[in-house]
Amino acid sequence: MHTPQKKGWESAFVSLAEIDFKVGGTIKTSYSKNATIGDSTTIVNHIVNYVPKKILTLQPEISENFPEFMKKESKGFYNVVYFTEISKNETRVESYGIGYKNNSKYLSLLKFFIKGNEDSYLNLINYLENGVKVKY
């Protein structure tokens, strides 16, 4: 199904997306253009809450690709994203990962996720400001 959310996600973040954008819905994505949503490359985020133009809370579904130590604690992982209007054409986006531990196992993995999230937000800015779609 093609929705505005699917087009937006595939333009700014990933190669493939399937989105049921509502509280209780999911955002399923893959960075691989040769993938199929539902295969082992699929990243699933559950939409816990959403207040338009204010806040979005996502809870990741930990797949077999994640380390064992994360699987045991995954029910406490969230990504909380705040949107603050600066002006009619500008919005501040703040993203917080919650539930991750402050130890060496987590910190090395978080470096990977932080870099990935930074790249994703830069891709979003580039798409919104210049119309350049992400290439994966």
What are the per-10-residue average pLDDT scores of the chain (136 residues)? 78 93 96 92 96 96 85 90 94 92 86 88 90 84
Residue 3: predicted pLDDT: 63
pTM of this structure:
0.88
Torsion of CA 115, 110, 121, 60, to 10 degrees: 140
Write down the CATH number for the domain with range 4-130. 3.30.530.20
Three-state secondary-structure class, residue 72: coil
The helix (H) or strand (E) run that includes residue 46 is strand 43-51
- Whole-number pLDDT of residue 19: 95
Distance in angstroms (rounded) separating the CA atoms of residues 56 and 97? 12
Give me the residue spans of the domains in the chain. Answer: 4-130
Q: What is the pLDDT of residue 2?
A: 55
